[in-house]
Structure 1
Amino acid sequence: MANDLDALAGVVPADQVTGRLTEAGRLAEELSEQGISGVVLYWADNNGIPRSRTVPIQRLPRVAEEGVGVTVLFAVFDSHDAITHSYGGLSTASGERRIVPDLSGLRTVASAPGLAYAPVDQFRVSGEVSEYDQRAALRRQVERAEQQGIELRFGYEIEFSLFRADGSTPAHSGPAYSPHALTVLGDFQADLLRAFAETGLELNQVHAEYGLAQLEVSLRPAEPLRAADEQLLARQIIHGVAHRHGYRVSFAPLVTAEGVGNGWHVHVSPWRDGRNLLTPAGDGSDVHGLGRDGAAFLAGLHRNLPALSAVGAPSVPSLLRLRPGYFAGAHTIWGVENREAPLRLVQGGGLLGEGQWNIEFKSSDASANPYLLLAALISAGLSGLEEGTAPPPPVAEDPGTWTEEQRAERGIGALPTDPEDADAAIDDSAAVSAVFTPEHREAFRAVRASDVAWADGLTDAEIVAGHLWLY
């Protein structure tokens, strides 16, 4: 398969193509016998929006060999399907890429009978990895971590708002976190749990959240590529079950201009030789109650917070969501179980076990490309490990309640809520900007600028409405 890291250096080796053909032929026969008629090849663009092609099951062996052609201009689709040509490298309609399914990630989805889903890698027609492939960006960072003996595990919390089919009537009215809220949804919750289980995606829990008609599912931790693939697949499951029950789902960063938004919090833990590096050693080497290397990983994340936020919350409504007092993570702090911190240390030990220590990154939502964001998180964390830096002391309060002078005294700033500041933050971060190829960086910049141009002159409410159903 093209997911072999050696293939990223250039053209896919012939023996990999042969193996891919054999595997694809076997899968096609098995899936056809199970009543599967097609395979959805899926990826996410620079706006976090899932895109896809569906191929008949009989064509899977051929597609596994040569891929499916798509325009290279998907790299410069903005959030509203406009194609921006402001980046000179993609200034015309000429150019093609091939999307090749990663068969190791192929799943049948209970909420989409008759179809299987497979994530894709993007290649040039020559067989070289596409310079715009976010999945390849994640692979490169995974390989970098492996060279240092580091393994990463990521888990997602996915918040979404559930409406009646008309798209305007909330499916439940609360109370927040109450079983009463879910009671009115009938069999939706049970079917959702069943669909995840039958698809093979492990859930930690489902519950009614704080916002308008809001629910949350949390996915079990997985290695990086699988975590990103499953985040996209989870969306499809939720959409499918909701549609079957007469509901409509919004994963948008905000569903009302003034309300609590939908954050997609990412939990990360770095491991070496089977040990969670965040776990305290208790031998005098710990830093702020963390293992020394785990603290250095956290320091790398903390130092690069503005750039990570620019990748994790890139859309115009994302920037509107990053407000103090909304559990969105609006300031450059980390804290121990502090839900106003963009980096929340979740402690293990006790009932949880020592392996459960992790860091929650909160400045993230559905408009982030999951592969790109996880790549940025790995790169930032590794930069801290490589330099052996230590994070500043944790903050237990909400800096949004402090004066500017108090924040300045502690060296605490706000995460970027201006598009130009967000763009500059990526350039200012060596760790995060290194995740992009030069071509991809310019395409990402062009897409963000096109989104800003679309929003020019609109009210916050109009901006929110324009993003409700995109993800």
Structure 2
Amino acid sequence: MFDLLSADAPRTGTELPDLAPSGVVGVTIVWADNNGIPRSRTVPVSQFGAAIERGVGITPLFAVFDSHDGITFGHAPLATPSGDIRLMPVPGRVVQLAGQPGFAWVPGRQVAADGSAWPYDQRGALERQVARAAELGLDFLAGYEMEFHLSRADGDDGDDPRPVYQGPSYGPAKLLAVDSFAEQLLRDLDRNGVPVGQFHGEYGPGQFEFNIAPADPVTAADLQLLARQTVHAAARAHGLRASFAPLVTLGQVGNGWHLHTSPSRAGKNLLSGGDGPGGITAEGGAYLAGLLRDLPAIVAVTAPSLCSLQRLRPGYWAGAYTCWGVENREAALRLVPATPLLGAGHANVELKPSDASANPYLALAAVIAAGVAGIEDGLTPPGPVQEDPGNWTDEQRAGRGVHRLPTTVAEQLGALLGNQRVRGALGEELTDAFRAVRESDAAHAADRDAADLVRSYRWLY
């Protein structure tokens, strides 16, 4: 668990968890690239102290890896194969993996070769936004709902994977079909220090979901990466294969990783206790309005892949339109209000168009930056939408200021590059590397049909 080394402990190489007596032989240092794909280096346990002090060498070109491991040189500062940076384990976040007991896991941050800040470090982008919010007296909690698909590991059925269960959604029989897997997964998540609120069979064939309890944003992003590793290990142990891809099979519902956030000031949740819709306060409304104002640019970061664009369809609870609503599951921004049963602290905003192809640190950085800017600017949100805007006419949507989110890479990049608030949160260097990666993905997919495109993303996540 994360408390193997206290997050408040001095950062010296001598104060490390003694992993060898527990049977650990290697420590895997993990980060996520600009496609949301985890990348890693593993060091023998005897070398972990040295890695804490000096890091592990990696190529700076990971910043311009596309989703299919192509390296684009479309970002000028990283246009050669030369150079090296250091991957630094984050002290206080070491976990001995329950499903892989010979290995420990730790998130990493990327720094320049001399140890200075590296502008392409995604974790650093989030840490800067959290620090900026704190300077304004704002704190955040964040949590994820994580949907994934389980199939048999003995091959696909024709062009599609064979889901473990195709019966009624949400019922106990769906869990019974994966009983031993579910038992191990819940046990391993607990042992790995990932707090889970609930787990159930979801809507689609072979689809399941669990939610991670809210935490501070950096911890939430770390936990999301750790949860993914935990799921994949448990699936492998039971002859199954897990996919978090935004869309696993063409025409089916996709996998969202719905991102929930709540801002607070002096311990008070700004999304409850007010006079606005759902009990939202004026500052909470400004936060929500900031998200709505920058939504196309945010979604370019939180659902950035070509597979994401296929998932974001009206009528699939994916949040395809720029609107918010109180408990409206078709709204891109769903306000989950406080209730007498759950308490004031429960209120949060759920971002629907968010999935596994998003880097979790960049996703939260974009959300926090946009929401904080809304508070700073004193924005007021429009009235909530309580219907499915996909059933409205174009004129009705235009009259309510509701628009379809970008449906192409060019539209997404236009929204991102034209938005100084979200660009500023990522930083100019990282934003341009992100642009180059998205354009490389688009070029890779140029001659693929829709089904082939889905297949090409299926096992990346």
- TM-score tier, shorter chain, comes to over 0.9
Distance in 2 separating the partners of 1:264 and 1:169? 22
The runs of 4+ residues in structure 1 deviating greater than 6 Å are: none
Match 1:172 to one of 165, 168, 173: 165
Verify: 1:136 aligned to 2:124, yes or no: yes
Contact 1:76 1:85 survives alignment (8 Å): yes
Contact 2:146 2:210 survives alignment (8 Å): yes
Structure 2 match to 1:246: 239
The one-letter amino acid paired with 2:100 is: A
Compute the displacement of 1:440 (Å).
1.0
Match 1:351 to one of 311, 320, 341: 341
Match 1:209 to one of 178, 202, 211: 202
Verify: 1:376 aligned to 2:366, yes or no: yes
DSSP 3-state at the match of 1:22: coil
DSSP 3-state at the match of 2:187: helix
Report the identity percentage.
Answer: 51
Distance in 2 separating the partners of 1:128 and 1:275? 36
Verify: 1:275 aligned to 2:279, yes or no: no
Structure 1 match to 2:135: 147
Distance in 1 separating the partners of 2:55 and 2:66? 24
Distance in 2 separating the partners of 1:237 and 1:17? 26
The one-letter amino acid paired with 1:202 is: P
Aligned CA-pair RMSD: 1.4
Q: Structure 2, unaligned stretches of length 5 or more?
A: 1-7, 156-160
Structure 1 match to 2:115: 127
Match 2:381 to one of 391, 411, 435: 391
The one-letter amino acid paired with 2:299 is: S
Structure 2 match to 1:89: 77
Verify: 1:114 aligned to 2:102, yes or no: yes
TM-score normalised by length of structure 1: 0.93
Structure 2 match to 1:77: 65
After superposition, give the CA deviation of every residue in 1:305-348 in whole Å (9 maximum; x if it has no partner): 10111101000010111110000000000000000011000011
Q: Structure 1, unaligned stretches of length 5 or more?
A: 1-15
Contact 2:279 2:337 survives alignment (8 Å): no
Structure 2 match to 1:12: none
- Show the 5 A alignment for 1:273-352: 273-281=266-274, 286=276, 289-352=279-342
Match 1:424 to one of 414, 417, 435: 414
DSSP 3-state at the match of 2:458: coil
Compute the displacement of 1:280 (Å).
2.1
Distance in 2 separating the partners of 1:184 and 1:455? 35
Compute the displacement of 1:92 (Å).
0.9
Structure 2 match to 1:13: none
Distance in 1 separating the partners of 2:328 and 2:278? 15
Structure 2 match to 1:182: 175
DSSP 3-state at the match of 1:61: helix
Contact 2:330 2:388 survives alignment (8 Å): yes
DSSP 3-state at the match of 1:104: coil
Compute the displacement of 1:17 (Å).
12
Structure 2 match to 1:65: 53
Compute the displacement of 1:149 (Å).
1.0
The one-letter amino acid paired with 2:304 is: P
Paired residues in the alignment total 449
Structure 1 match to 2:428: 438
After superposition, give the CA deviation of every residue in 1:161-214 in whole Å (9 maximum; x if it has no partner): 000012421111131101111112131111111011111110001000011210
Compute the displacement of 1:19 (Å).
3.3
Verify: 1:20 aligned to 2:12, yes or no: yes
Structure 2 match to 1:44: 32
The one-letter amino acid paired with 1:355 is: G
DSSP 3-state at the match of 1:112: coil
DSSP 3-state at the match of 2:364: helix
Verify: 1:360 aligned to 2:350, yes or no: yes
Distance in 2 separating the partners of 1:411 and 1:293? 22
DSSP 3-state at the match of 1:201: coil
